[in-house]
């Protein structure tokens, strides 16, 4: 499942809803070892930096030109064939939605996961989740013993009642297919790459748990120096928003 989301009808709808209301310019763009950061006046967004998959240097098409561009122009890189530009696009989108003043629950989204055995499917390897919730189905691109390969979503998701999905599925393009397969499940998206956009509720996601930056200077330094999630956490806060109950 490596096709960009923009190549499917579901992906185009995802793209369109996330790009609504884009304004302002990117003040800083960093493509770090683990995370890509786009900072703007009203907010900052992150996206997981894709694995290079090749030896030696690999460049973005226009290094040195991304900072200062309109967020809308960076978000349009969603269509790019370059995976790093695609990550910049997601980070720019998150800079629009994950505003510094955004309000929501401070809970870590991992706390919302419910154990319903294999009717709980977690897509992505979150530290400690399998240990805290024995019997759930964990799906990974490179599965370890006890985990399922990506191909298993075709059989696991239609029966699922609770699905927790990494926000990296936006970047790798697999989210539209995932949402198609689990229309009746409670779907939770987790991770610093999560766009905290209520528009995603209309696509079938019930809860969004992401990251809102607070100290841009120190966050940017941590990203540029290869920081992982634990290194970023002190420079922002978790925010979780949920869809209103439907009766």
Tell me the pLDDT tens digit for each residue of 126-169: 989 999 999 999 999 999 999 999 999 999 999 999 999 999 89
SS3 233: helix
Q: Does 136 lie in the same domain as 19?
A: no
pLDDT category at 53 given cuts 50, 70, 90 is: low
Q: Does 72 lie in the same domain as 26?
A: yes
Q: What is the CATH number of the domain that holds 226?
A: 3.30.390.100
> Which residues fall within 8 angstroms of residue 175, CB to CB, at 6 or more apart?
5, 11, 14, 165, 169
pLDDT of residue 26: 98
35 inside domain: yes
Q: Does 228 lie in the same domain as 136?
A: no
Q: Which helix (H) or strand (E) holds 135?
A: none
pLDDT category at 247 given cuts 50, 70, 90 is: very low
Residue 137 φ then ψ, to 5°: -100, 120
Q: Does 226 lie in the same domain as 173?
A: no
Q: Does 222 lie in the same domain as 163?
A: no
pLDDT greater at residue 135 or residue 245: 135
| Residue-wise pLDDT tens digits, 170-181 | 888 899 999 999
Q: Does 196 lie in the same domain as 183?
A: yes
218 inside domain: yes
Q: Please check the confidence at residue 4 and state whether its pLDDT lies above 50.
A: no
pLDDT category at 218 given cuts 50, 70, 90 is: very high
Q: Does 79 lie in the same domain as 31?
A: yes
> What integer is the mean pLDDT of 31-40?
97
65 inside domain: yes
Q: Does 149 lie in the same domain as 126?
A: yes
Q: Which domain holds residue 42?
A: 5-103+212-238
The span from the CA of 153 to the CA of 158, in Å, is 8
245 inside domain: no
Q: Please check the confidence at residue 83 and state whether its pLDDT lies above 80.
A: yes
SS3 129: helix
The span from the CA of 98 to the CA of 84, in Å, is 20
Q: Does 148 lie in the same domain as 77?
A: no
244 inside domain: no
The residues pairing with 87 across neighbouring beta strands, listed in sequence order, are none
187 inside domain: yes
pLDDT of residue 12: 67
> What integer is the mean pLDDT of 203-208?
95
Q: Please check the confidence at residue 33 and state whether its pLDDT lies above 50.
A: yes
Q: Does 99 lie in the same domain as 216?
A: yes
The span from the CA of 178 to the CA of 15, in Å, is 15
The structural domain count of the chain equals: 2
228 inside domain: yes
Q: What is the CATH number of the domain that holds 134?
A: 3.40.50.11590
Q: Does 142 lie in the same domain as 159?
A: yes
Beta-sheet strand order (sheet of 162-166)? 137-139, 120-123, 162-166, 186-190, 207-213, 236-242
Q: Please check the confidence at residue 94 and state whether its pLDDT lies above 50.
A: yes
pLDDT of residue 225: 97
Q: Does 139 lie in the same domain as 173?
A: yes
The span from the CA of 12 to the CA of 83, in Å, is 17
pLDDT category at 54 given cuts 50, 70, 90 is: low
> What integer is the mean pLDDT of 91-118?
95
247 inside domain: no
């Amino acid at each position: 499942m490596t096709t960009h989301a923009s190549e499917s009808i579901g992906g185009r709808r995802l793209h369109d809803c996330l790009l609504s209301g884009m304004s302002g310019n990117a003040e800083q763009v960093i493509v770090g070892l683990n995370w890509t950061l786009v900072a703007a006046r009203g907010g900052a967004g992150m996206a997981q930096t894709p694995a290079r998959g090749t030896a030696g240097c690999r460049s973005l098409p226009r290094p040195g030109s991304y900072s200062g561009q309109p967020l809308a122009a960076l978000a349009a890189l969603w269509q790019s064939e370059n995976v790093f530009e695609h990550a910049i696009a997601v980070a720019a989108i998150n800079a629009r939605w994950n505003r510094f003043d955004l309000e929501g629950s401070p809970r870590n989204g991992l706390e919302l996961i419910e154990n319903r055995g294999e009717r709980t499917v977690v897509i992505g390897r979150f530290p400690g989740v399998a240990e805290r919730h024995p019997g759930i189905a964990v799906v990974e691109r490179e599965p370890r013993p006890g985990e399922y390969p990506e191909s298993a979503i075709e059989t696991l998701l239609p029966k699922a009642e609770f699905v927790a999905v990494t926000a990296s599925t936006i970047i790798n393009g697999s989210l539209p297919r995932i949402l198609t397969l689990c229309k009746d499940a409670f779907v939770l998206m987790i991770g610093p790459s999560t766009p905290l956009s209520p528009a995603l509720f209309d696509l079938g996601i019930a809860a969004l748990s992401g990251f809102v930056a607070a100290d841009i200077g120190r966050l940017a330094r941590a990203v540029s120096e290869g920081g992982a999630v634990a290194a970023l956490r002190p420079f922002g806060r978790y925010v979780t928003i949920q869809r209103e109950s439907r009766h």
